[in-house]
Amino acid sequence: MATPSNVAIAELEEAFQQRIDREEKIEPKDWMPDAYRQNLIRQMSQHAHSEVVGQLPEGEWITRAPTLRRKAILLAKVQDEAGHGLYLYSATETLGVSREELTEQLLAGSAKYASIFNYPTLTWADVGAIGWLVDGAAIVNQISLCRTSYGPYARAMVRICKEESFHVRQGYEIMTVLARGSAEQRAMAQDALDRWWWPTLMMFGPHDTDSAHSGRSMRWKIKRQSNDELRQKFVDQSVAQAEFLGLAIPDKALKWNDTRNHFDFGEIDWDEFRAVLDGEGPCNHERMEARRKADEEARWIRGATLAYAEKERVRSSTGTES
Ligand code: 3HC
C-alpha cells in the first residue's frame, strides 16, 4: 500500500488538529497521527497498570479489616479497581495493541504505574487515607480526563469516576471515625496523613515546565488541564477536608493566597519522586514481584480461556466441533 506523501500527511495532520479544535471525539477507526496514538497507548496503559497494581496496597488489609462491614466495603473497592484496569486495557486495545504486550511492558519494567502505589500501608488508617487522598486525587485527574479527545478513554473515565466517588467517601468516613475516636486512633489518622500527603501530590506528575508530554497532550486535548493546575485544585479542596477532621496537613508553607485565590504550598521532594520512578521506592520490588507472581499463576487460566474462545470461534464459523 503506497504510503501517503509528506504533503498528504501534513494535510491529514492539519485536518486532524481541526477536528480536535472543534471538540470532536476521535474514534478507533479514525485517522490519527501515529504520535497521538503512541501517546495515548503510553498514558492509557500506564493508567491501567496503575489500577491493577493499585489493588495491592489496600488488598493487604482485606483480611485485617476491623469489622465485617469494613471488609465488605474494602473488598468492593479493590474489586472496582480491577474492573477499572480492565476498562482501561480494553480502551487501550482499540489503538491496536494487545493486553499481553502491555502486560509484558509492565513486567519488563519498561512501562510505569503510578508512583503512589510504591508506598506501604502500615496501619488501618492508611486505607482511609488512600480512599480520601489517593482516590480523591485520582478523581480530580479523571474528571478532567472525561473530556479527553479520544472517545474510548473519555467513556471509560465517565464509568470509573462514578465508582471512584464511592471510594473517596468510604475512605473519608474511615478517617472521620478515627479522627473522632480515641487519642490513639486520632494519632493513627494523623500519621497516615503525614505519610500519604506528599506522595499523593506526586500523582499529578512533574511541574508543567518539566513535563515531557504535556505540551502535545494539551494541544491534542488528551489532557484538558495541566499537572500543576490539577494539583492546585486537589490542594485547595483538601485543606477544608483536613480541617473538618481536625488533622494537620504536613506542610508548613500551606497558606491561603488572596491574590492567587488559591492555597500556596511547599515544594515536592522531586528527588524522592525520581527515585520512586526509578524503582527505588519503599515497595517497588514487592509490588512487581506480586504482579509477576499473579501473572505466572494465571497463565493456565488465560491459556484455557483463549483455547476455549478459539474452539468456539471455529465451531461457530464452520458449524463443526474442531
Ligand atoms: N507516577 C508514575 N509516573 C509518572 C507520574 C507518577 N505519579 N507522574 C508522571 N509520571 C511519568 C509519566 O508517565 C512520564 O513518563 P513516560 O514518558 O515514561 O510515560 C513522565 O513521568 C513525565 O511526566 P509527564 O507529566 O510528561 O507525563 P504525562 O503527560 O503522561 O502526565 C499523568 C502524567 C498526569 C500521570 C498522566 O499520565 C495522567 O493523567 N495519567 C492518567 C491518570 C493516571 O494514570 N493516574 C494514575 C493513578 S490511577 C489511580 O489512582 C487509581 C485509583 O483508583 C486509586
For 307-319, how does the pLDDT look when each residue is reduced to its tens digit (9 = 90+)? 999 999 999 988 7
* Residue 25: partners with Cβ closer than 8 Å, 6 or more residues away: 149, 150, 151, 154
Please provide the DSSP assignment of 66-89 as one string.
SSHHHHHHHHHHHHHHHHHHHHHH
Measured in Å, residue 214 CA sits from the centre of ligand 1 at 11
CA torsion, ordered 216, 222, 228, 233, to nearest 10 deg: 160
Measured in Å, residue 252 CA sits from the centre of ligand 1 at 27
Looking at this protein, which amino acid is placed at residue 91? A
- The three grid cell numbers given for residue 292, joined into one nine-digit string: 509477576
Give the residue among 291, 315, 21 at the shortest CA–CA distance from 149: 21
How far apart are alpha carbons 108 and 53 in whole angstroms? 14
* pTM for the model: 0.95
Pocket test for ligand 1, best of 45, 277, 283 (most atoms within 8 A of CB): 277
pLDDT tens for the 322 residues of the chain, in order: 556 688 889 999 999 999 999 999 999 999 999 999 999 999 999 999 999 999 999 999 999 999 999 999 999 999 999 999 999 999 999 999 999 999 999 999 999 999 999 999 999 999 999 999 999 999 999 999 999 999 999 999 999 999 999 999 999 999 999 999 999 999 999 999 999 999 999 999 999 999 999 999 999 999 999 999 999 999 999 999 999 999 999 999 999 999 999 999 999 999 999 999 999 999 999 999 999 999 999 999 989 998 999 999 999 988 776 5
Measured in Å, residue 301 CA sits from the centre of ligand 1 at 30
| Protein residue with least CA distance to atom 24, ligand 1 | 211
- The three grid cell numbers given for residue 46, joined into one nine-digit string: 500506564
In degrees, rounded to 5, the angle at the alpha carbon of residue 161 between the alpha carbons of residues 159 and 165 is 130
Bridge partner list, 256: 263
Distance of CA 158 to the CA centre of its chain: 14
> Measuring from each residue's beta carbon to the nearest atom of ligand 1, which residues come in under 6 Å?
42-43, 46-47, 50-51, 54, 81, 84, 112, 114-115, 134-135, 138, 141, 164, 202-206, 211-214, 217, 227, 277
Report helix, strand or coil for 263. strand
Q: What own/partner pairs with CB < 8 Å and gap ≥ 24 does 306-313 have? A: none
For 182-238, how does the pLDDT look when each residue is reduced to its tens digit (9 = 90+)? 999 999 999 999 999 999 999 999 999 999 999 999 999 999 999 999 999 999 999
Measured in Å, residue 113 CA sits from the centre of ligand 1 at 7
